Amino acid sequence: MLRETIRSLAESKIAPFAAAVDEEGRFPQEALDALVASDLHAVHVPEEYGGAGADALATVIVIEEVARACASSSLIPAVNKLGSLPVILSGSEELKRKYLGPLAKGDAMFSYALSEPDAGSDAAGMKTKAVRDGDFWVLNGVKRWITNAGVSEYYTVMAVTDPTKRSKGISAFVVEKSDEGVSFGAPERKLGIKGSPTREVYLDNVRIPADRMIGEEGTGFATAMKTLDHTRVTIAAQALGIAQGALDYAKGYVQERKQFGKPIADFQGIQFMLADMAMKLEAARQLTYAAAAKSERVDGDLTFFGAAAKCFASDVAMEVTTDAVQLLGGYGYTRDYPVERMMRDAKITQIYEGTNQVQRIVMARNLP
């Protein structure tokens, strides 16, 4: 029922704007409005804070179905979870009440600020600092590749509070867009997901109350990694949706397109391509849903499964979208058809929330 609801919403309120959002590189406001109106913009927020209280699998289905129509729009529910999960996992009761309520209501979006210009895969090498000053912390630094930066009201920011302890000297904070000293760089000019702004976040003597620290001092990096164990599953879901959208379109196209006097779907070479696309996509879906169930139960092998789902589903999405472009021939290579957009959008799923090379390191260290 949830899938039918979100698919119908995505097809009627999100898909019609997907091409324009990509072409104009603008935020998909129509999608945000539609998702908020249906209470599907942050379904993971627990009921006690005004949210829908959806479990990890339901959240995955929402993201998958939105991504099938528009990958940029699927980053609304996905990044709302990414940004707010540290608060849900480690935040004080006061912090949860203060920030999860507006998120659940749709009054604010939540972003996640971990990466920096010199700290990507090596996130523990970050340079952003937070210095204690009485009942406040003062933050200085630059965060890069921040999804929905400038649109989101709230940011989970990781900063070094004790430079002598490397990862154990990193703490997490909630920073608000309106805090004095917070500013944003120009939007990155990207290959895909053009409707979701990616910008640097500048923290220039940003002074925030001490109670905005998420969890204990020095636990920020552990919270950040624990968050990614759960949210990598949402990137897998996004990859599934993009691939499904491409497969659906290609499947329809090959039945209509005629060459040599018959639909190209009648040719075995085409049939084998579609069969492989569907088979790999289904394998990715099963792995992703299994990982979502583990995320919900917080199983001991979640780290492996989260990395495996994200890595496998994103590799499959890249393969399936590339094959979809091939199946449409010259038309697939033009912006008049959606599969080239899907191919461009799929690429980022192999990169963000940990490159697939890093996922393989994570899997190797956490073999079940």
Quick check: helix, strand or coil at residue 217?
Answer: coil
The rounded Cα 87 to chain-centroid distance in angstroms is: 17
Using alpha carbons, list the distances in angstroms from residue 91 to 54, 96, 140, 147, 224.
19, 6, 22, 22, 12
Backbone phi, then psi, for 103, in 5-degree steps? -65, -45
Residues designated as active site: 353
Q: CA torsion, points 51, 54, 60, 65, in degrees to nearest 10?
A: -70
Amino acid letter for position 323: D
Among the listed residues 102, 65, 66, 64, the one whose alpha carbon sits nearest the alpha carbon of residue 83? 102
114 pairs with which residues across the strands?
A: none
Q: Which residue has the tokens 């895909």?
A: 192
Q: Is 186 helix (H, G, I), strand (E, B) or coil?
A: coil
Q: Which structure tokens are listed for 323?
A: 């094959």
What single-letter amino acid sits at 357? Q
CB-based burial, 309-344: b 16+ in 10 Å, e otherwise? bbbbbbbbbbbbbbbbbebbeeebeeeebbbbbbbb
Residue 297 burial by Cβ neighbours in a 10 Å radius (0-12, 13-18, 19+): exposed
Supply the angle between the helices 220-256 and 268-297 in degrees, to the nearest 10: 150
Q: Distance (Å, rounded) from C-alpha 343 to C-alpha 191? A: 10
Query: Look-up: residue for tokens 């990890």?
Result: 56
- Cα 190-196-197 angle, rounded to 5 deg: 70
